[in-house]
Amino acid sequence: MRLHLLFCLSVLSSSPLCAAGEAPSIERLSPAFDQSIAPGTGVETLATGFDWSEGPVWDANQECLLFSDVPRNTIYRWPAKGEAATDATGVSVFMHPSGFTGVSGYGGEPGSNGLAIDAEGRLLCCEHGDRRVSVLTKGGGKQTLADAFDGKRFNSPNDLAIHSNGDVYFTDPPYGLPGKEKDASRELPFCGVFRATPGGVVTLLTSELARPNGVALSRDERTLYVAQSDPARPVIMAYPLKDDGTLGDGRVFFDAKPLLATGKGLPDGLKVHGSGQVFSTGPGGVLVIAPDGTLLGRILTGRPTANVAFGGEHLYITADDLLLRVKLATR
């Protein structure tokens, strides 16, 4: 269980004021890194004090970032808005509960995880506690997009990516179950990568990964990237996307195992930059990887790092107790 941290002042500073770990920095390994992050760029700390920040998404319509704190069963908004605003952190509560709506407790990670905004501007959530992918309707409540496969409940949907045709690709590791993979309520004997159509038809795409986690589509939507947070095989897979929405044979796009000794964390959340570079969390913080799988550099956060999101001219990073931001050279 992660340590519950006391909220503390830290808004747009260059380093955390009260968080454990090293101050964030940038490591450049190739001149191609400059295509996405210009020389001299620093890392801003926007807010601190979260239990485990996750699943960020930029809402362009509302000009704000939404992100999960999984143990707190809460989605936060930055910058803050409304009566729930917390001046000390610059964030406000957007939704609580965010992933578990039961009447009793539910393990240490009950809340929402990955978030996404669809073409209609609706918020889609991967919910650990309620074990589903949900859609927040405009002016109404939530609807369930998918909560089971072949009559069996998901483990704990983790992250998602939305295709331009409305299909939702998502992963289902056991991290949100109170007993993880040994939980008595677990119904699926594997951790899958799934697709749900806008009508809620669910297809299993692959069950070959022990711990599928982050997921992202290439800009041309011909490749599905899936990060695996398995310490025995910490890789990012690349799968060709067929015309019918299923996957071809996957290949290892990037193997993070050699980096395990250089920093905390495993492959987790990832997004694809306009340049084709893949931004993936992993050992040390955020890995910036060329389209051919070459590591170009890292954003070193000094702590296990969960996920990233592009928003406007910035990259937003959820790193354990921190919310960070880095200025991008191009979008």
**What are the pLDDT digits (tens) for 65-118?**
999 999 999 999 999 886 555 555 689 999 999 999 999 889 999 999 999 999
Residue 320 falls inside a structural domain = yes
pLDDT per residue as tens digits for the range 266-306: 999 999 999 999 999 999 999 999 999 999 999 999 999 99
Q: Which domain holds residue 201?
A: 25-327
Residue 107 falls inside a structural domain = yes
Residue 140 falls inside a structural domain = yes
Residue 10 falls inside a structural domain = no
Residue 4 falls inside a structural domain = no
Q: What's the pLDDT band for 21 if we cut at 50, 70, 90?
A: low
Residue 8 falls inside a structural domain = no
Decide if 267 contacts 157 (C-beta within 8 A).
Answer: no
The domain total for the chain is 1
pLDDT of residue 85: 53
With a threshold of 0.75, does the pTM exceed it?
yes
Residue 2 falls inside a structural domain = no
Residue 214 falls inside a structural domain = yes
**CATH number of the domain that residue 33 is part of:** 2.120.10.30
